[in-house]
Structures are given as structure tokens and as C-alpha cells.
Structure 1
Amino acid sequence: MSYYNLMRFVLQGKGLQKKCLAITSSVTPATLCCCILIILILVALNVVTLSVLLAVRSRETDLQVVYVTCPKGWIGFGNKCFYFSEDSENWTLSQISCTSVGAVLAQFETEEELNFLTRYKDIFDYWIGLSRESSHHAWKWTDNSKLNVPFVIQGTGECAYLTDSGVSSGKRYVIRKRICSKTNSNVSISLDAL
């Protein structure tokens, strides 16, 4: 093979190489710029969408109602605070203990409050603020208002207590834990008001 033929062969190879590259890589600078621009637009849309979602979520949090807390050791439900005692006393001393902290033996006006107390209590029975003179008399709360929540009170005792299965009655001298309640004098406020 002569030098001339060798050079011609090499030059033809380079020409073929350029043709192969032109066939396999059809990416022009304009196409590359368009792809980069599309990627940047998609990233920007994601950032804007996430920002809007976070703003909406934080706004929803701002609109939630916040209840002012009950005293330490008390549990809030609705507009009331409840205290579940650690110690045990008879019904009369339990009422005196509740009164000494500005409360009464637990009173509830709704079935939701009763369900809350039943769920929250532990394995012990707790005195509540219902009593009656005898099994022939109507149940009254410690403030002398009549019982207006429709539920069954089991037993024939003159004082009511909360059990795992609902409300029962027993003798006033039996020693049990107590639940005190008081109306939360602080009104509920919205974070928007702050």
C-alpha cells in the first residue's frame, strides 16, 4: 500500500466517523437549550407548588381553635377541667376535697363528657357529683340541679361513681377515688385573635 492510498484510507475513515456521529447524535445546541429550559421550568413549578401547599397548611393551623389550659394536673375537655385524684375518700370527704380547690365532684351535661371521663379513667372507680336521698328519690348534682343526661345508673346506693362499664351507685361511706370538675373560666380563642 502506498503512502497516497494509506492517506486516502485514513481520510475516508475520518469522514465516515463524522458521518456516524452525525447519524447517532442528532442533538443540536438548540435542542439542548430547550431541554435545559424545560427542566428549569419544571423545577420552578415544583418549588412554587410546594410553597403554596406549605402556606395553605400553615394557614389551616392558624385557624384551629386553641383552648386555654387547665391548672396543672387537670385535664381539659370542652369548657371544663377535670381532676382525677390519686387518693381515696368517702363521697362526702371527696366533695369537700373538690370544694377546697374551687371545684365540685364531677358533673357532666353531655354523653360526650361522660364518654370522655369513662375512657380517661384508669382501673379504679371514681366518685362523681350525683347523689340522692334514697332509691325512691331523683338523682341530683351537688349544685341541686337534676340529672338531664339519659343514662342508666346501676345499683341502689345513694351516691354515684364511675366504673369501666358506666355509672353505678353505692353507699356514701365507701372509700373511692374522686373526679373533680370545674368550668374553665377562660374562653376558647383563635390564633387569629393573637
Structure 2
Amino acid sequence: GGDGAEEEQWSQPGNDLSLPAVNQTKGKCCFSLCPGIKIPKVMDFLPNILTINDSSLPQARTRCLENGIGYREKCFYFVEDEAEWNRSETFCRSLGAHLATIDTWQELRFLLRYGGSLHYWIGLRREGSAPWTWFNGSLFNNSFQIRGRGQCAFVNGDGISSDWCSLMKYSVCSHPQTRPTGSRRDPEVWNLT
């Protein structure tokens, strides 16, 4: 505008949101009366920064769907409709997820606690005596024991076991929790002191 302050546009690919940035020579006094900088102009844009669900930003999954449980940057869904392993994976994909992967001991303990004594398919299987692989083809790192001689893995109250993939069990799906694309903070706006 006509206030003489230089305005820089904050933008990123795919992000139509633009913010006035603080001029480097004047930026250290933003909360006092600075000649040439209108504080309400910067403050008017802060709600758009603090809210990651701003409609001008391309949206990605930011939280779990209804009935999902967020834990350690993943969303988990305990599905209590019995199905065989392949149909369970198909259902998980309809949620934008897959049969659950277990990356840490904390995640395993979480699944054991919430799953109780019920049997839930997870995204781990093998062909014959081949090594165990996750739904995406990555090799299982043997970070926990899988009991039994089956071809598909499931979690129950005792740990991880295996069974024939054609048997009916509940399932647990998961997907990563992600941020909207283009929602990074502008350091010039956040460092106003």
C-alpha cells in the first residue's frame, strides 16, 4: 500500500497464500510503534498461519478419520468386521490406509493394549517359507517374534502370530498422519521479537 513499507510475498509452490514479510531493516521492533509498518496488517494474517486447515492450502490427511486413533504420527483403525487377509487389505485401502505396519516396540505395545485378546490382521505376510514382507513389499526386519506357521500375521493379546490368510479375523489398518502441503511457517512472521 501507500505506507512505504516494503512487502515481500511469502509463497510456495501450490500455495496461493501471500503474507507481508517484515522488512529486514525495520523488523526488530514489530511490537512497538515502528514508522512505516502497520501492525494490524501483519496480525490480520496470523489466523491464516496458525490454522493449518486454511482453505487456500492444498489439503492432505491431517488427522484420523472418524473412529481412528492417532498414535506416534500414525492413524490406526480397529475394524471389527471379520474378513480374510486380502479382503481386509482391500477394506483398509478404501479408508486410504493399509493393513497396519509396526515400526517400533511402542507401536506393538499400543496395538496389544487396544486390540485386547481379539485377533486383528496386520500388513505382514509371506509366501511359503520365504521371508516375511510388509504389504508394500519391504522386508520385515525381525524386530519381534512371529509365532505359528501361517502365511499372514495378526496381532492378539499375546503378541504377533500367524495363520492361514483365508481365515476370518478382524483387522487393524494404519496410515501416516501428514501435514497439508505448503503449510510450512514463514520464519520472518514467527520471529517477531
TM-score band by shorter chain is: 0.5 to 0.7
CA-atom RMSD in angstroms: 2.1
Aligned match for 1:139, one of 122, 132, 137: 132
Aligned length: 123
Aligned match for 1:74, one of 68, 79, 82: 68
| 1:169 aligned counterpart, secondary structure | strand
Instruction: List structure 1 segments (4+ residues) > 4 angstroms apart after TM superposition.
Output: none
Aligned match for 1:156, one of 149, 154, 160: 149
Give me the whole-angstrom Cα distance separating, in 2, the residues matched to 1:155 and 1:122. Answer: 19
Question: What's the CA shift string for 1:15-41, capped at 9, x where partnerless?
Answer: xxxxxxxxxxxxxxxxxxxxxxxxxxx
| 1:70 aligned counterpart, secondary structure | coil
| 2:112 aligned counterpart, secondary structure | helix
| 1:129 aligned counterpart, secondary structure | strand
Amino acid at match of 1:151: F
Matching residue of 2:103:
109
Give me the whole-angstrom Cα distance separating, in 2, the residues matched to 1:139 and 1:108. Answer: 13
Matching residue of 1:181:
174
Matching residue of 2:162:
169
Give me the whole-angstrom Cα distance separating, in 1, the residues matched to 2:142 and 2:169. Answer: 23
Matching residue of 1:88:
82
Give me the whole-angstrom Cα distance separating, in 1, the residues matched to 2:142 and 2:114. Answer: 19
Cα shift at 1:149: 5.0
Identity of aligned residues (%): 39
Cα shift at 1:97: 0.4
| 1:182 aligned counterpart, secondary structure | strand
Q: TM-score, normalised by structure 1?
A: 0.59
Verify the 8 A CA contact 1:111 1:149 in the aligned structure 2: no
Verify the 8 A CA contact 1:105 1:181 in the aligned structure 2: yes
Q: TM-score, normalised by structure 2?
A: 0.60
Give me the whole-angstrom Cα distance separating, in 2, the residues matched to 1:137 and 1:152. Answer: 16
Q: Which has the higher helix share?
A: 1
